[in-house]
């Protein structure tokens, strides 16, 4: 195959650009609630995301990558023309990356999953024909875009109602917070650890039995809980603060929990959304490495996951502030207790989706969770103007990705095919 080195170089460059866009835009879903609630500063959020987004991408990003790489278009139709699939994947990466950059400039929290799936569908339908697209798989993904915010919203609603009943509405909220917040911390550590044990480590050659996975997950959950208890005991109680806001010191306890959930959401986001950047890169690399064979199943090479993780961290550090502000304070007023409910609900939804290989939209999931927390306080607590703007940006994203991808597909076909 001609131009092999050029294709690999462009794939890495565009994949890094796409991952940078994910960091600049979609990572707000991981950090926006923490920053908006005041639990973390922007700088602290960047440090946490740098560690846990990268870890999630590398340790648990392989499952969803397989769906993006080969589950959306029928690779069998490209057997006799592997270069067409390469042009399409390059076009998809560049198109989605440009749209994310554009949206980030305006602070729009768009879906990176919408962007890349729309781009892949666009080139597949135009480059080969409508039959090239796995419309059944697209139907499942589209359904997940509806189901995931509903699930996130319901879980967030239930979590916040539980916080209200067992902590905020008790005679001594501070004492209740000290007693029950460590339980929430254990749940956070256990859920993420369990799913990582089951699904995330298989592509790096580590296989554990169910009993071993549960045991390790319980141990990690307990370890995180112990850390939380120590951190809560070190909190300095300010009696005067409660005179202005009755739950001021309680929210300080929840700020400790928000640090844990922020790490959780960053890990979950990295595990699910790295696929949007490295899935097409893995497809291109697999075709070239196999000498032009399309559809060959192979695990995603670790260096590709590293590339995606690095791009996500760079994007957040360089350009993530604008979208963080929209998510963190635009939809509803967040406190650490409200932010905790939204973030944990979204993390649970996203991590399980990553484990099953369904590329849901983290944006949809977290916005649904924030709406769920807001609804627990009444519809007046929501900024419906911002909500409408977010929904409109979601509608525009998929066709924008598709149209840009089609344009770049024909450009690459003209450059390399002629």
More confident position, 290 or 224: 224
pTM listed for this prediction: 0.79
Task: Name 332's bridge partners.
Answer: 382
254, 336 contact by CB (below 8 A): yes
Selection from 283, 361, 317 nearest residue 74 by Cα: 283
Q: What is the pLDDT of residues 131-188, one digit of tens each?
A: 777 777 777 767 777 787 888 888 889 998 998 899 988 888 888 988 998 998 898 8
Quote the longest CA-to-CA distance of the chain. Answer: 76
Pick from 38-52, 140-154, 319-333, 396-410 the range whose average pLDDT is largest: 396-410
Q: What is the pLDDT of residues 76-94, one digit of tens each?
A: 777 778 888 889 889 999 9
pLDDT at 269: 74
Helix, strand or coil, per DSSP, at residue 73: strand
Query: CA-CA distance, 270 to 316, in Å (whole number)?
Result: 12
Out of 317-331, 352-366, 368-382, pick the least confident: 352-366
Mean pLDDT over residues 390-411, rounded?
A: 89
- Within 10 angstroms of residue 207's Cβ, the number of other Cβ atoms is 9
């Amino acid at each position: 195959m001609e131009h092999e080195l050029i294709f690999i170089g462009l794939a890495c460059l565009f994949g890094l650009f796409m991952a940078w866009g994910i960091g600049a835009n979609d990572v707000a879903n991981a950090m926006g609630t923490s920053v908006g609630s005041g639990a973390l500063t922007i700088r602290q959020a960047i440090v946490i995301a740098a560690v846990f987004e990268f870890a999630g991408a590398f340790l648990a990003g392989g499952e969803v990558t397989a769906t993006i790489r080969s589950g959306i278009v029928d690779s069998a139709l490209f057997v006799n023309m592997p270069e067409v699939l390469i042009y399409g994947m390059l076009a998809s990466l560049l198109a989605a990356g440009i749209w994310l950059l554009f949206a980030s400039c305006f602070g729009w929290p768009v879906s990176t999953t919408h962007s890349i799936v729309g781009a892949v569908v666009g080139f597949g339908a135009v480059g080969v024909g409508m039959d090239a697209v796995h419309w059944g798989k697209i139907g499942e993904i589209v359904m997940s875009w509806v189901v995931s915010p509903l699930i996130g919203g319901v879980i967030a609603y239930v979590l916040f109602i539980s916080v209200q009943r067992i902590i905020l509405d008790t005679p001594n909220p501070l004492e209740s917070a000290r007693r029950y917040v460590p339980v929430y911390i254990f749940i956070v550590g256990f859920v993420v650890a369990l799913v990582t044990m089951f699904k995330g480590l298989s592509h790096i050659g580590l296989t554990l039995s169910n009993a071993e996975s549960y045991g390790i997950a319980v141990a990690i959950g307990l370890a995180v809980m112990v850390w939380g208890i120590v951190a809560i005991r070190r909190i300095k109680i300010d009696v005067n603060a409660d005179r202005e806001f009755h739950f001021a010191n309680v929210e300080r306890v929840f700020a400790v929990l928000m640090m844990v959930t922020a790490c959780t959401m960053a890990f979950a986001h990295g595990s699910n959304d790295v696929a949007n950047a490295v899935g097409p890169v893995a497809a291109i690399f697999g075709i070239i490495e196999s000498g032009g064979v399309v559809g060959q199943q192979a695990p995603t090479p670790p260096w590709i996951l590293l590339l995606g993780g690095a791009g996500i961290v760079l994007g957040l550090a360089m350009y993530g502030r604008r979208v963080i502000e929209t998510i963190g304070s635009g939809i509803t007023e967040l406190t650490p207790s409200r932010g905790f409910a939204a973030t944990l609900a979204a993390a649970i939804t996203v991590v399980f989706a990553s484990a099953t290989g369904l590329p849901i939209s983290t944006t949809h999931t977290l916005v649904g969770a924030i709406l769920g927390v807001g609804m627990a306080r009444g519809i007046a607590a929501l900024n419906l103007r911002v909500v409408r703007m977010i929904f409109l940006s979601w509608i525009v994203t998929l066709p924008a990705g598709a149209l840009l991808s089609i344009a770049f597909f024909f450009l690459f076909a003209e450059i390399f095919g002629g």
